Amino acid sequence: MAFKKHKNEFDRVHKQYNLFMKLTKLNHNKEIKNLLDLKRNETLLDIGGGTGLLAKELSKNVKKYITIDKSKKMLEHHEIKENIQIIEADFFDYKFEEEFFDIIILSDVVHHIKNQNKLLKKSYKLLKKGGLILIHDFNKESKRVKALEKFENYMFGDIFLKTTKEMENLLKDNCFDITKKLDKNFYFILIGVKNAS
């Protein structure tokens, strides 16, 4: 089966993405919302925010919601609201103001990034003191995730999954203290606070 080559691999799946997430039950946005306990005064950065499923869930509960994603086609699905800003760019290349964000979210993103330390180091710099990072990802030890890994390798190329414990250690190594943890075997949600180190 041949696919039309796109500048971004997610561009070719943008029409099916939301339905796929629903049918496979990979969308855990309500749990993310419950864990964050938003106060409506936060400035939030959603890295790899795609079609805006999470923005739809959270944007009404924050002051400013910024989504950055490389896929133009995925971003076209966002519902545009007054407090939502969409940026089509590579997170590593885009210049944000340091210590600007209250919350950074990486939902279903980290396993697509080879240099995860670089990702967390930049995130750390962008967060205010006491700011939060939330990581929602999939546990590589789960049998269900092994099937997902084969699918994503085929669709998007190499992915870099971790166990829940490995992700916790990665956060700690990058100066985040874990404040909340939800471990559901095949997926996990971790919240870390930027420490003073």
List, in order, residues 6 or more apart from 105 with CB less than 8 Å away: 32, 44, 45, 46, 47, 49, 54, 133, 134, 136
At 53-96, the pLDDT tens digits run 999 999 999 999 999 999 898 899 888 899 999 999 999 999 99
CA angle, 81 then 29 then 188, to 5°: 145
pLDDT, greater one: 148 or 180: 180
Question: Is residue 3 in some structural domain?
Answer: no
Give the per-residue pLDDT at 16: 62
Q: CA-CA distances (angstroms) from residue 79 to 50, 124, 138?
A: 12, 28, 26
| Residue 1: inside a domain | no
The residue-averaged pLDDT of 189-193 equals 98
Residue 29 located in a structural domain: yes
Residue 141: give the domain boundaries.
9-194
Give me the amino acid identity at 122: K
CATH code where residue 91 lies: 3.40.50.150
Domains of the chain: total: 1
Q: What is the DSSP letter of 139?
A: B
pLDDT tens track for 21-53? 665 667 889 999 999 999 999 999 999 998 899
Q: Does residue 89 form part of some domain?
A: yes
